Amino acid sequence: MCFQNRQQVVDAIRKTNAIVNSLQPEACEQPYGGMSMAAHCDGAVSAVDQIPQLNAAQGRLKQLQAVLEMFDKGTYGICQGCGERIPAKRLEVIPTASLCVDCKKKEEAPASRH
Ligand SMILES: [Zn+2]
Lowest mean pLDDT: which of 14-18, 27-31, 65-69, 81-85? 27-31
Ramachandran angles phi, psi of 61, nearest 5°? -60, -45
Tell me how far the alpha carbon of residue 106 lies from the centroid of ligand 1, in angstroms: 9
Tell me how far the alpha carbon of residue 77 lies from the centroid of ligand 1, in angstroms: 10
End-to-end CA distance of the chain: 38
Domains of the chain by residue range: 1-74, 77-114
Q: What angle do CA 89, 80, 96 make, to 5 degrees?
A: 45
Averaged pLDDT for residues 16-38: 71
46/7: higher pLDDT: 7
Please report the pLDDT score of residue 88 as a whole number: 93
Tell me how far the alpha carbon of residue 98 lies from the centroid of ligand 1, in angstroms: 9
Over the stretch 62-114, which tens digit does the pLDDT of each residue have?
999 999 999 999 999 999 999 999 999 999 999 999 999 999 999 988 675 55
Q: Give the other-Cβ count within 10 Å of 89's Cβ.
A: 9
